[in-house]
Amino acid sequence: MEITRAEAFAPATMANLGVGFDVLGLAFAQPGDIVRAERSERPGVTISAIIGDDGKLPLELERNTAGVAARSVLRLLGVEDTIGVSLTIIKGLPRASGLGSSAASAVAAAVAVNALLGDPLTRAELLPACLDGEAVASGYHPDNIAPCLFGGITLAYGIEAHQIVSLPIPERLILATVTPAVEVPTKEARAVLPTHVPMQTVVVQTAQIARLIDALHRRDVPAMAAAMEADRIIEPARLHLMPHLAEVRSAAKAAGAHGVVISGAGPTLCAICDCYETAVRAADAMVKVYLSYGIEAVGRCVPISTEGARVYALA
């Protein structure tokens, strides 16, 4: 029997992990985006509705990360001219928040369309389609797409599936995030980055990335957090886009967090914790800092998603 409808969930992600700009990332268990894919008469992809975006995201295929990813799946399968798919995008993630919103829509769309067609492609084979979608928002970098599609903590040393490595997840790791009501478009956050970096800074940054990978292999949460926080290239350049970062970091650490980093391009900040109670306290403390400045903020305590995107409804 032909499948007429498939829905997929793709989780929020944190790119960079502080020091690993454009190469490291992890998947949060929630929140995330949902994309429903349905068969339609007209060949190709159409976006029939976007829910939960306050009308801010484009329905136009070319400009929508989900639309482009879905079309790339049809192209990979050579059926763009024969099969019609209509998408409904249900946004659980705020855009321009540093939670991988554009990547989640692209991944959910690719996974849903693949499920609709009977799962002809593996996750690895879906990667190029997901990257095509993400490129609409901010170019080809797999640090959100890889954990979103595959789950866990990932290192991407290239954009092909064989260049994505799954890293160990410390058992005690739990994250507290705070998302202030401030938009930081990724393109803007990338435009402020330096084009040249002194060699000594590169040496320090490289050492800290290596330290982070080692800490993950030893499941050492405090060392992991210290390495993540040691970023000397990206955070200083973006500091002015992240209101009250220093104060939020102090508040989370006073609550017991081991470190605080910018999630992706921000403004979401993420506190690295090793027990749920600490994460609750850290999230609460971080939210209170923003509220004290009259800025609304949402705090969350989330473990890592080991599975990444998933299909959860078919008809």
- In terms of CB distance, is 134 or 274 closer to ligand HSE? 134
- For residue 66, give the DSSP letter: H
Closest contact distance (angstroms) between CB of 4 and ligand HSE is 34
Residue number closest to ligand HSE, CB atom = 15
Closest contact distance (angstroms) between CB of 236 and ligand HSE is 13
Closest contact distance (angstroms) between CB of 108 and ligand HSE is 16
Sign of CA dihedral 45, 48, 51, 53: positive
Please name the residues in contact with 111: beta carbons below 8 A apart, sequence gap of 6 or more.
8, 10, 35, 126, 149, 309, 310, 311
- In terms of CB distance, is 76 or 265 closer to ligand HSE? 265
- In terms of CB distance, is 44 or 259 closer to ligand HSE? 259
- DSSP H/E element including 269: strand 269-273
- In terms of CB distance, is 44 or 267 closer to ligand HSE? 267
Identity of the amino acid at 210: A
Closest contact distance (angstroms) between CB of 138 and ligand HSE is 5
- In terms of CB distance, is 22 or 53 closer to ligand HSE? 22
Residue 208 in tokens? 């800290």
Residues at the site binding ligand HSE, with contacts judged by CB under 6 A: 15-16, 21-22, 138, 141, 143-144, 186, 189-190, 264-265
Of 68, 13, 2, 62, nearest to 35 (Cα)?
A: 68
> Residues in the chain, how many?
315
76 SS3 class: helix
- In terms of CB distance, is 6 or 149 closer to ligand HSE? 149
End-to-end Cα spacing for the chain: 10
Closest contact distance (angstroms) between CB of 167 and ligand HSE is 16
Closest contact distance (angstroms) between CB of 204 and ligand HSE is 19
Please name the residues in contact with 110: beta carbons below 8 A apart, sequence gap of 6 or more.
69, 70, 72, 73, 126, 129, 130, 133, 149
